[in-house]
C-alpha cells in the first residue's frame, strides 16, 4: 500500500514540501488542499500588481495548480481543511464552491496554513471597504475596489512594510493616502534614527503620516461602508477605503484544535527538520516559529524566503532524505516611494533585550563615486558587540542601489564576523557602483574605531 501525504496550504511552504517529497518518492500519494484560487504565488508582489508596476495577476504565480498536477500532485483548489484528527490520521475538508464535505486519510501531514492579517478589536473593523492584504485573493478584491472609480481617499492602518508598500501603490494610482501608526516612526523593526529617514521619504512622495497615534474606531456610514478612521487622539480621517497593514499572526487555529503544540512565540513548535511534537505531522512557513541565531529566541518570521526553505526541508525529510533549517537572523528589505530600506541581525532594542552590550556607528555616503552621475545618498548603521567587535546588526537606508548591500552584511553576521574583519573585506569597486571606500567599509571602520576606543577606556 502506498504512503499518503496530505498538505494543508498550497503556497510557498506547502507547495515546496509537496514537490520535494514527490520528487524524492515518486510512489508517494500527495494530496494538496488550497482554499484560495492560486498556488505557489508571490504575496510580496501584490502591492506592485496593485500599483501597476506588475502588469498581470498571473505574473505573480510561480507554479499553477495545473503545473503541480502535471508533476503528480492531487491538488484540490477552493477546498478548505476544517479539522484534523491526529489520532485517526484524517483531515476534514469543505469544498467552498460546491458546498460538499468529506475526509481524507494521511500517513504524513504538512501543516502550511501561513498567516492571517492582524485585525485590532475596534468598532467597524469588519465593515465593507476595510481590507487586509495577505493572500492573492485579498489583492484581487482590493484591486477591484480601486478599479471601481469610487475611491479617492485611502487610509492605511499600520506603517510597516506592507502598509507603506500599499500606500505607495495607491499614490501611484493618484489617490490621497494617509498612513496611521502608533509608533513614532514607520517600520518599527528599524531603529528610530533610520525610521526618520523613511518617514521623510514617504512624506516627500505626498503620503500623509499620522504617527504616535493608533486607530480607535472605524466610522461606518448608513450604507455599511467605512467612511473614516478615528484615531486614539480623536482625529477623524475621511476614507473611501481602509487597508489594514498591521502585520500578521500565524494561522494556527486548526493546529490548536487538533492538539498540535505551539511554541512560546505563538507559532507551531517544530524541530530543525520541521517536525512537530505530534508523530507524522510536519509544519512550515509563516505558521511556525524559528530560532533567531543571535538572540536564541523563538520568533515567527512571515517571509516567503523562509517559507520556501522550510517547506523544502520538510519535503526532503518526508521523501527519505535529511535536511535541517538553521534559523534566521532577521534580514529584510523594502522599497517604499523613492527610498530603499534594509536590515539584518538585531536592532538596538532587540540587542538590548537579548542581553548584549553594544556600540553603534552610522555613516552617510553615496551609492556610487560622488562625482559619478546618478550617485545617491546612503546611510549605513552598524551595531557591534562591546569588546569582541562582533557584528550584531546592520541597517541601510538610501536611494536607488542602496538596499541590496545588506546581503553582504547578512553573510557577515551569519558567519559571526567582527567589524574589524569586515573592514578588510575585498569588496568590488568602480565609480559607477561605489565610492573607493564602499559605505559598508566606512561604517565598519567607524564601528571598529568605536570598539577600540571602548577597549582603551576599560
- Return the CATH number at 85: 3.50.50.60
Mean per-residue pLDDT, 386-399:
96
Is the same domain home to 83 and 110?
yes
Per-residue model confidence (pLDDT) at position 135: 85
Is the same domain home to 271 and 238?
no
* Whether residue 458 lies in the annotated active site: no
Outline where DSSP puts E strands in 158-283: 176-180, 208-210, 215-220, 226-231, 236-238, 241-244, 248-250, 281-283
Q: Which range of residues forms the domain containing residue 154?
A: 119-246
Element (H, E) at 254: helix 253-258
Enumerate the β-bridge partners of residue 327. none
pTM: 0.92
Per-residue model confidence (pLDDT) at position 43: 86
Whole-number average pLDDT of the chain: 94
d(CA 90, CA 106): 6
Helix or strand or coil: residue 389? coil
Q: Are 331 and 410 in contact (CB under 8 A)?
A: yes
Is the same domain home to 239 and 126?
yes
Mean per-residue pLDDT, 412-418:
98
How would you list the strands of the sheet with 358-366, edge to edge? 332-336, 339-345, 391-398, 377-385, 358-366
Give backbone dihedrals phi and psi of 4, rounded to 5 degrees, phi first.
Answer: -110, 130
Instruction: Please determine, for residue 458, whether its predicted confidence score (pLDDT) is greater than 80.
Output: no
Is the same domain home to 353 and 447?
yes
d(CA 391, CA 385): 6
Of residues 44, 170, 337, 412, which has the active-site annotation? 44
Is the same domain home to 253 and 108?
yes
Q: Which of 212, 246, 280 is the last residue of a domain?
A: 246
Is the same domain home to 347 and 405?
yes
Give the pLDDT confidence of 56-95 residue by residue, as tens digits.
899 999 999 999 999 999 999 999 999 999 999 999 999 9
Give the pLDDT confidence of 237-271 residue by residue, as tens digits.
999 999 998 888 999 999 999 999 999 999 999 99
Domains in the chain, number: 3
Is the same domain home to 63 and 93?
yes
* Banded model confidence at residue 134, pLDDT cuts 50, 70, 90: confident
Residue with cell 492560486: 38
* Banded model confidence at residue 1, pLDDT cuts 50, 70, 90: low
Is the same domain home to 344 and 435?
yes
Is the same domain home to 177 and 230?
yes
Give the pLDDT confidence of 266-306 residue by residue, as tens digits.
999 999 999 999 999 999 999 999 999 999 999 999 999 99
Amino acid at each position: 500500500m502506498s504512503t499518503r501525504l496530505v498538505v494543508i496550504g498550497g503556497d510557498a511552504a506547502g507547495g515546496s514540501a509537496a514537490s520535494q517529497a514527490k520528487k524524492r518518492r515518486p510512489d508517494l500519494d500527495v494530496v494538496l488542499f488550497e482554499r484560495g484560487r492560486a498556488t505557489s504565488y508571490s504575496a510580496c508582489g501584490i502591492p506592485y500588481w496593485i500599483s501597476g508596476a506588475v502588469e498581470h495577476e498571473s505574473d505573480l504565480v510561480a507554479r499553477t495548480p495545473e503545473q503541480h498536477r502535471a508533476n503528480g500532485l492531487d491538488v484540490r483548489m477552493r477546498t478548505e481543511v476544517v479539522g484534523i484528527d491526529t489520532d485517526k490520521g484524517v483531515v476534514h475538508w469543505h469544498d467552498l464552491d460546491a458546498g460538499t464535505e468529506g475526509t481524507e486519510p494521511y500517513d504524513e501531514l504538512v501543516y502550511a496554513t501561513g498567516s492571517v492579517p492582524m485585525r485590532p478589536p475596534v468598532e467597524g473593523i469588519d465593515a465593507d471597504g476595510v481590507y487586509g492584504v495577505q493572500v492573492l485573493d485579498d489583492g484581487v478584491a482590493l484591486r477591484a475596489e480601486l478599479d471601481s472609480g469610487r475611491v479617492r481617499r485611502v487610509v492605511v492602518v499600520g506603517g510597516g512594510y506592507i502598509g507603506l508598500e500599499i500606500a505607495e501603490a495607491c499614490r501611484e494610482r493618484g489617490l490621497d493616502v494617509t498612513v496611521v501608526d502608533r509608533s513614532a516612526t514607520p517600520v518599527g523593526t528599524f531603529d528610530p534614527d533610520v525610521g526618520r529617514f523613511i518617514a521623510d521619504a514617504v512624506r516627500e512622495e505626498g503620503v500623509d503620516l499620522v504617527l504616535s497615534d493608533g486607530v480607535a474606531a472605524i466610522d461606518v456610514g448608513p450604507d455599511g461602508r467605512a467612511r473614516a478612521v478615528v484615531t486614539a487622539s480623536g482625529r477623524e480621517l475621511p476614507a473611501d477605503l481602509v487597508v489594514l497593514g498591521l502585520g500578521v499572526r500565524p494561522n494556527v487555529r486548526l493546529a490548536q484544535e487538533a492538539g498540535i503544540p505551539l511554541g512560546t512565540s505563538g507559532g507551531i513548535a517544530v524541530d530543525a527538520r520541521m517536525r512537530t511534537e505530534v508523530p507524522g505531522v510536519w509544519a512550515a512557513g509563516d505558521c511556525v516559529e524559528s530560532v533567531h541565531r543571535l538572540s536564541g529566541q523563538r520568533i515567527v518570521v512571515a517571509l516567503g524566503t523562509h517559507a520556501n526553505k522550510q517547506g523544502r526541508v520538510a519535503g526532503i525529510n518526508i521523501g527519505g532524505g535529511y535536511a535541517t533549517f538553521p534559523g534566521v537572523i532577521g534580514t529584510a528589505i523594502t522599497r517604499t516611494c523613492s527610498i530603499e530600506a534594509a536590515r539584518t541581525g538585531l536592532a538596538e532594542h532587540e540587542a538590548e533585550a537579548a542581553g548584549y552590550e553594544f556600540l553603534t556607528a552610522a555613516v552617510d555616503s553615496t551609492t556610487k563615486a560622488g562625482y559619478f552621475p546618478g550617485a545617491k545618498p546612503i546611510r549605513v548603521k552598524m551595531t557591534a558587540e562591546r569588546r569582541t567587535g562582533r557584528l550584531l546588526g546592520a541597517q541601510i537606508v538610501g536611494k536607488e542601489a542602496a538596499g541590496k548591500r545588506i546581503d553582504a552584511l547578512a553573510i557577515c553576521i551569519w558567519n559571526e564576523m567582527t567589524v574589524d574583519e569586515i573592514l578588510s573585506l575585498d569588496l568590488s569597486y568602480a565609480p559607477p557602483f561605489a565610492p573607493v571606500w564602499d559605505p559598508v567599509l566606512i561604517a565598519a571602520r567607524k564601528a571598529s574605531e568605536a570598539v577600540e576606543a571602548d577597549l582603551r577606556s576599560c
